Amino acid sequence: MADELTALDACEAVRRLRAGDVTPLELIDAAEARIAQVEPQINALPTLCLDRARAHAENLMAGNGCEAAAEAGWLAGLPVAIKDLVDVAGVRSTYGSPIFADHVPETSHPLVQRIERKGGIVIAKSNTPEFGAGGSTFNEVFGRTRNPWNTALTPAGSTGGGAAALAAGEIWLAHGSDHGGSLRRPATYCSVVGLRPSPGRVTRGTVNPLFSPLSVQGPMARNVPDLALFLDAMAGYCPHDPMTFDAPATSFAEAVAQAAVPRRIAYAATIGGSPVDRETRDICRAGMQTFASLGAEVDEIEIEIEDLEGTFLALRSQQFVIDRELQLQSHRDLIKPDIIWNTELGLKQSTADLAKAERGRAALYRRFTELFAQYDLIVTPGANTPAFDVNLRHPVAIDGVKLEHYLAASLLTAAITLSASPALSLPCGFDQFGRPVGLQLVAPPRGEAPLLAAGALYEGESGMARQVPIDPRAGEVPPVM
């Protein structure tokens, strides 16, 4: 019974919860059993809060806290995982940092409050790199998270815990966040789906870079309809976040159900000359035939962006100064080198450096505006390279190009961050070593509805969503190609 329940789609689980065919407590029990079975192999959900979850479930079952039952995104008592970068009241919340190893907040993050109001039940915190900075999910508090497809490999970062937990059937829905690809790369590496929403679609709560569009919160799931359901639970205006706006009149779940095939789609094997694994390019190019078979016109294009890496690094590093400058002064010995490097890069920048980066971002945005005047969607590979050795901070090289820092492996996703566009990671195949490969689907700003609709059509035609959940698989690290 537990295996049957954990294998359910989130939408089907919610349907059964609404019908009374299953209870939230039964789903919590099923998740607990699955977590006990697979967690030793992947280390995706290091902090559980099952007693708190059961108390919440009993409250819902008694008819309390159901005021949002008629709203879009009602989860009806479905268990979810929250990334260990945001607070859950009464639950250990470490941000992956030794500085906060024993931190237990009294108040939940505004997004957690919204998810719980929509009937979501938090059962676990998912693992993350320290402060969410890193292309591989590990930290000094909980250690390394492993990829269920091959436990010798990383699930990427920084929502690696959420992606691994979904693929291994520990959870039905996972919350995450994304700056340079932290929802999209882990989804690609674990053959699940992840959405970076448009800035303002989902509240970030009371962050320090309050007016920056770089970092967002968003959903991850095993398939697109489940992702749409979770986005409906998350989306909407929040007084704590001045960038937020109202949820749409038509729910994302309804938009997916009424999906229409995109008219024209542009496929780009890379952006700004960023190196991409050769086999990944071949698999993704072949995957575009699925859109063609649906009736879409597909063009392969080149997207040239001048100094993409420099533009993204400058703007990201400035945000690191806002977030980490004071912590470096007080706890430098407890902060990992990648964060120190990124913050100090920002501290060394001049006003002219930042001005150049802002001009670069504006030029990139204008380029994407031109493309969206011609195409409904832009599609790229979901990641520059497939999953790599779990013991590495980042890949050594991609397509023969040596990487100088961890962000160099994220430039395909980072480019879309700068465009302020919503982006969906969607499975499209596997390489010769059995590593998942995915596509990154991109729509115009605030275009989540047509984006998810297109993703659902692709998913239905390809059948890729039926690949998960899986039992974790041991394996070896493939050679660097």
For 377-405, write each residue's pLDDT tens digit.
999 999 999 999 999 999 999 999 999 88
Please determine, for residue 440, whether its predicted confidence score (pLDDT) is greater than 90: yes
Give me the architecture of the 2-467 domain, per CATH. Answer: Alpha-Beta Complex (3.90)
Q: How far apart are CA 404 and CA 229, in angstroms?
A: 39
Residue 221 DSSP SS3? strand
CA 345 → CA 41, 325, 359, 405, 461, distances in Å? 37, 11, 19, 12, 45
> In this structure, what token pair is assigned to residue 229?
């359901």
pLDDT at 480: 83
Tell me which residue of 149, 146, 85, 74 sits closest to 117, measured CA to CA.
Answer: 74
pLDDT at 203: 98
Query: How confident is the model over 86-142, as pLDDT tens digits?
Result: 999 999 999 999 999 999 999 999 999 999 999 999 999 999 999 999 999 999 999
pLDDT at 244: 98
CB of 371 within 8 A of CB of 379? no
Please determine, for residue 417, whether its predicted confidence score (pLDDT) is greater than 90: yes
Please determine, for residue 435, whether its predicted confidence score (pLDDT) is greater than 80: yes
Residue with tokens 């160099």: 408
> In this structure, what token pair is assigned to residue 310?
């420099």
pLDDT at 206: 84
Please determine, for residue 42, whether its predicted confidence score (pLDDT) is greater than 80: yes
Query: How confident is the model over 149-176, as pLDDT tens digits?
Result: 999 999 999 999 999 999 999 999 999 9
Please determine, for residue 481, whether its predicted confidence score (pLDDT) is greater than 90: no
Local confidence band at 313 (pLDDT 50, 70, 90 cut-offs)? very high
Mean pLDDT of 359-366: 98
Mean pLDDT of 304-318: 97
Please determine, for residue 466, whether its predicted confidence score (pLDDT) is greater than 90: yes
Per domain, the residue ranges of the chain are: 2-467
- Enumerate the β-bridge partners of residue 439: 381, 426
pLDDT at 95: 98
Report the side by side order of strands in the sheet with 173-178: 47-48, 120-126, 78-83, 173-178, 216-221, 193-196, 423-430, 436-442, 377-381, 264-267, 297-300
